[in-house]
Amino acid sequence: MQQPRKPNHRLKRQRKLRGWSQKEVADRIDTNTFTISRWERGEAIPGPYFRTRLCDLFCMNACELGFIEDEMDGAGERSSHLPPSALSSDRSPLATAPPPNLPAEPGLLASPPQASRIWTIPIARNPFFTGRETLLDLLHQRLSTARTAALTQAQALFGLGGIGKTQAAVEYAFRYGDDYAHVFWMLAASRETLAADYVTLAALLDLPEQAEQDQQRVVAAVKRWLAAHADWLLILDNADDLSQVQEFLPTRHKGYVLCTTRAQAAGALAASVEVERLEPQDGALLLLRWAKLLDIDTPLEQARAGDRAEALRIVQEMDGLPLAIVQAGAYVEETGCSLADYLRLYTTHRKDLLSRRSRLLLDYPETVATTWSLSFQQVEQQSPAAAELLRLCAFLAPDAIPEELLARGAAELGAVLGAAVADPFQLNAALEVLRRYSLLRREGGAHLLSIHRLVQVVLKDSMDQRTQRAWAERTVRTLNAAFPEADAGTGVRRQDYLPHVQECATLIKVYQLHFPEAACLLYRAGVFLYAQGFYPQSQSLHQQALAIREQVFGAEHLVVAESLNTLAILARLQGDYQQAEGLHRHALSIREKTLGPDHPSTGVSLNNLGVLYRSQGKYEQAEPLLLQAFSIREQALGSEHPDTLMTSINLAKLYIEQGKYELAEQLLQQALAISKHALDPEHLPIAQTLILLARLSYEQGNYERAETLWLQSLALIEQTLGPEHPSAAESLNDLAKLYAAQGRYVQALSLCQRAINIGEQRLGPEHPDTITYRQHLSMILSKIEAEQGDDHHSAPPPC
């Protein structure tokens, strides 16, 4: 039966001999009088940190201050079950400490449940520990004493520095420590620290070999003890070299081993369990509790709405990294600033905040910046190629970095990294180094890399402005070289590159990267976004490309006309006809002056200007432009060229709107015959021709033919451009109009609503097409209400 702990008269006597109050002692070691009182009453004993502070304060050792239980009896004689070496110093992290089932306070370790049980956790239980329930449950299942210990594999908590591996291990020990006969904590950062902790443990176990001068013999004795005893839990913290750890474990044992490591690969030594970033809600709760804006037992839902929103924003900035969140909370508490103040300060003093040490974070010896700085240095020493790869990834979007991007852009990566990515074996070697520190994650099956956002931030902040600019330029050039011209047949999807293009667009702005390759990347990505129906996003990239092209090539260059033409089309598609006309005329002027009036590129501008006038109902201005464009294209490209066919289709659309159905029918049938003969079945001119033939049939009252043609065109558009493309919305709206005219309102409503959804998502709620779709929906609903009203009035009166 556990004996009640006696009051610590030694500590109290030494305090009184110096004439100090409990408050004076508390102030000298940065704690409170309640804690000092508990220590003196024997309700708890100080943790290693405060034992050291007290020993320094009183100029006495742990034994003289009565911190090690049963080390001396009432007569001052040393007890026999602990060796002298375990009593002479309290500087080691190995020391007897509390049962896990008692509540702990910062700086307090409660007394052990029994004198013979060893508990050496050097860190007090974190009262603010948040989340990780699934992870802790998984560990408990895998390290359960209900299972056969001899068959239980060691577990390795792995992840980026600052992700909370050590805190998770500490929480596990306190939460489930009662399941084990003993709980040992070892610092496994190096062979020297691990050997030293084994020597200290030998003393605590009172092994005969404890006084040996040869450390290897002491380590071997502890290994024999571990092999001979069962149901102990050994936690090896910072075990980044897992092969080294294996040397300190017996080949057979009936205990349980838990490691924390940055290494993602554990081999046969352990089963790897990733410690991931905190979920936003858990991160916000952790931040508010650390900042003392929320009581420790109060759920997040009861926090002030403003505090909760700001906390979630900070967690997003920290990308769920617990160490960064804790640093932010400590700063808010120390300075008394608001969360909104911290966010504003973070935008201007990010580097300082991530490097700042807090006196409140006793169990967090390193800041975010210092946690990774040593890792960066070690990577640089072990593999220059890995270091350069990490720097490149720091300037890309953090998630889903295609490995093929590296190979396709190898020529722009420089001699060291370029050679590494060109050879899969060398690339794997570089990635192995980065995975050793969890600085990069790799999805082998998908061939994707990812990097934590704060690693990007700290890495970039560690560079001077000149180095940052050089890497930003290298990144833009690499992505331009890698960006695929088309998706088909290459196995490369341009969609996967878009987040990285957006990052490069920002780099181009921030670092003023005005060179042709930068404009080329922006232009090609903008064209892809335009084809996918993302018009505002496309417009932004094209505007940026135009500014660079004008600066680099001059305002009258052909590539400037190319950008002007595309921006004009985007302006028209978004309903800004005035801007579109100005851009088209500017592009046409450059092309006529540079290429002449009969060049196909001049025909492009004539065609597009004609389409703009037709869209505005300016038919007299549109027709001659379209006829001229058709003539140029037919002579220069031939009648079967897609550009010639598109001009013919545009003319047919003009004639339909003018009511010239015979001319329209003739053009469309010719275009359809040529398209089916010369083009692939899924080519867009075929779909456009079918759409116009459907509209022509609808205008002529042939609903059955119109439906068939619209359904065919919709299937082609969805297959070629996707079901969410604005062109699909246009066809859906046309079909809805047909069904409404036939009284098929249920089908009409469904199709019209789909068109509205696409319009709102791709074009925006205020786009003319989206407004048209909503107006059409209102008309359908009005017709339904009118018919229901007629039915109601015509019904016979009730009997």
- Percent of the chain with pLDDT strictly greater than 70: 89
- 608 found inside a domain: no
What is the distance between the alpha carbons of residues 119 and 184, in angstroms, rounded to a whole number? 6
φ/ψ of 274, rounded to 5, equals: -80, 135
The residue-averaged pLDDT of 439-446 equals 88
Q: Is residue 527 part of a domain?
A: yes
pLDDT at 663 over 70: yes
CATH of the domain at 232: 3.40.50.300
CATH number at residue 753: 1.25.40
Q: Is residue 529 part of a domain?
A: yes
Task: List, for residues 672-694, the tens digit of each pLDDT value.
Answer: 888 887 777 667 778 888 888 99
Does pLDDT of 334 surpass 60? yes
Same domain, 259 and 303: no
pLDDT at 115: 42
CB atoms within 10 A of CB 557: 15
Residue 492 banded pLDDT, cuts 50, 70, 90: low
Residue 617 has pLDDT above 90, yes or no: yes
Q: Which of 489, 524, 548 delimits the end of a domain?
A: 548
> Which residues have C-beta within 8 Å of that of residue 651, sequence separation ≥ 6?
623, 626, 627, 630, 667
Number of domains present in the structure of the chain: 4
pLDDT tens digit string along 239-288?
Answer: 988 888 888 999 889 999 999 999 888 888 889 999 999 999 999 999 99
Instruction: Indicate whether 525 belongs to any domain.
Output: yes
Gap between the Cα atoms of 511 and 375, Å rounded: 27
Are 243 and 390 contained in the same domain? no
Mean pLDDT of the chain: 85
Both 405 and 539 in one domain: the answer is yes
**Domain assignment of residue 94, yes or no:** no
Does the pLDDT of residue 89 top 50, yes or no? no
- Judge if 387 and 499 occupy the same domain: yes
DSSP states of 586-645: HHHHHHHHHH-TTSHHHHHHHHHHHHHHHHTT-HHHHHHHHHHHHHHHHHHH-TTSHHHH
Please classify residue 162 by burial: count the beta carbons closer than 10 Å to its beta carbon, then call 0-12 exposed, 13-18 middle and 19+ buried.
Answer: buried
Is residue 740 one of the residues assigned to a domain? yes
Domain identity same for 249 and 319: no
On the question of pLDDT at 82 being above 50, the answer is no
CA distances from 319 to 276, 278, 356 (A): 11, 8, 18
| Distance in Å from the first CA to the final CA of the chain | 89
Q: What element of type H or E holds 799?
A: none
379 and 418 in a single domain? The answer is yes
Are residues 255 and 308 located together in one domain of the fold?
A: no
Specify whether 249 is located in the same domain as 337: no
Residue 741 inside a domain? The answer is yes
Do residue 389 and residue 530 come from a single domain? yes
Residue type, 510: V
285 and 270 belong to one structural domain: no
pLDDT digits (tens, 9 = 90+) for 216-251: 999 999 999 999 999 999 999 999 888 888 889 998
**Pairing label, strands 182-187, 230-237:** parallel
Looking at the structure, do residues 263 and 308 belong to the same domain, yes or no? no
Indicate whether 176 and 261 sit together in one domain: yes
CA distance to 344, 575, 630, per residue, from 652 (Å): 57, 22, 12
Alpha helices (H) in 79-177, listed in sequence order: 133-142, 165-176
Whole-prediction pTM value? 0.73
Instruction: Look at residue 197 and tell me whether its pLDDT is greater than 60.
Output: yes
What is the four-CA torsion angle of 34, 40, 45, 46, rounded to 10 degrees? 60
> What is the extent of the structural domain holding 335?
280-355
Q: Give per-residue pLDDT as tens, 538-549.
A: 999 999 999 999
> What average pLDDT does the segment 151-165 reach?
88
Q: Which of 274, 306, 331 is the last residue of a domain?
A: 274
Single out the residue in 525, 548, 571 at which a domain terminates: 548
The answer to whether position 750 is within a domain reads: yes
Quickly tell me which residue has 């929320």 as its tokens. 294
**Averaged over 109-133, what is the pLDDT?**
74
The dihedral region occupied by 504, where left means phi > 0, alpha psi between -120 and 50, and beta the remainder, is: alpha
